[in-house]
Amino acid sequence: GECPKFERRLADVAWTHGTLVVSPTPPEPKGLDDGTAAAILDEAEDILNAVGSDIRAEVDAEREAAAKRGIFKRIFRRK
């Protein structure tokens, strides 16, 4: 707007007004269906499976330690 009092509102920023049109969305890049995405996901799954038992052991140890701290806090809590 050329009006000195005109302020673009936050809701108007991405909207189209008048005859101007936002350019169309570009086509998807080629190569997404060539198996590379699946290969990356398979590799990520292999990594997670390899470290999964270690992570589970760490979580179990943390929970056990927290439970032990909770017992001592109940026994030795201040009254």
* Alpha-carbon span 20 to 12, nearest angstrom: 14
Give the torsion through C-alpha atoms of 22, 26, 27, 33, to 10 deg. Answer: -130
Q: What is the domain partition of the chain in residue ranges?
A: 30-79
What pLDDT does 71 receive? 74
Contact status, residue 15 vs residue 9, Cβ threshold 8 Å: no
- pLDDT tens across 2-24, in order? 777 777 666 655 665 666 666 78
What pLDDT does 56 receive? 92
* Alpha-carbon span 47 to 19, nearest angstrom: 52
- pLDDT tens across 25-42, in order? 888 767 656 778 888 899
**pLDDT score of 65 more than 80:** yes
Is the pTM of the predicted complex or chain greater than 0.85? Answer: no
